Amino acid sequence: MTQLVAWLLALPPALVLVAALVLPAVEASALVGLVVPGETAVFVAGVVAHGGRLPLAAVIAAAAVGAVVGDQIGYRLGRRWGPGLVGRLPVRLRGRAEQVTGFVARRGRWAVLLGRWTALLRALVPGVAGASGMAKRDFLVFNVLGGVTWAVAIASLGYGAGAAYASVLTRVNHASEIAVGVVVVLVVAWVLVRRVLRRRGAEL
């Protein structure tokens, strides 16, 4: 995860913004959200916005559009493939998809809003909602509500953590330097002690 964050931070601001739009969309539309770091991309874009390289409003807008569009695609795929959708999923996802199906059945349209906040549900709720026959209007309303609130929350968290992120990196670098210094001192002390003990042994 640290390498991913570092890679995203190294991208030009425009590409960070693209990632904040595209990755959340893929996360929800392709049923592979477990391996697509959409939330991380939005958070990092918020960090970049804190540094002044992107407007925070643009990050929120991109993340919201990506989240809503991705969910809509996932929902339509669910409606297209129908109840047999779960059976067509990879084996590793099938058991979890059955749990999500039960969640959607219990919570209805609220599952669309709640599902936006965890990776597994983001990946599967849209498709399951479509397959279950949830009304298009209900899904759209709660999808937009969930996508916008999620985008505002995650981007704002990244923005708020911007200064702290730089501070943490600085502290880690200082800690590494201190650790190296301590190791060097210990090695030198160990060498000196061995020499003293050898001299005393020779004198005896």
Least Cα distance to 134 among 78, 93, 95, 94 occurs for: 78
H helix intervals, 2-83? 2-10, 13-29, 38-50, 56-81
pLDDT one-digit tens code per residue, 79-103: 887 666 666 666 666 667 677 777 7
The pLDDT, as a whole number, for residue 168 is 44
Domain chopping of the chain, boundaries: 2-160, 163-204
> What DSSP line would sit under 101-166, residue for residue?
HHHHHHHTTHHHHHHTTSHHHHHHHHHHHHHTT--HHHHHHHHHHHHHHHHHHHHHHHHHTHHHHH
Distance CA 190, CA 1 (A): 38
Q: How many whole angstroms separate alpha carbon 202 and alpha carbon 200?
A: 5
Q: Residue 186: its pLDDT value, please?
A: 59
CB 42 within 8 A of CB 155: yes
pTM of the model: 0.72
Q: How many CB atoms lie within 10 A of CB 110?
A: 14
What six digits make up the tokens of 117?
């906040």
What is the chain's pLDDT, residue by residue, as a tens digit (204 residues)?
566 677 777 788 899 999 999 999 988 776 654 567 888 889 889 989 988 889 999 999 999 999 999 999 988 888 887 666 666 666 666 667 677 777 787 877 888 888 888 877 887 888 888 888 888 999 999 999 999 999 999 999 888 887 666 454 444 344 434 444 554 555 566 667 777 667 766 665
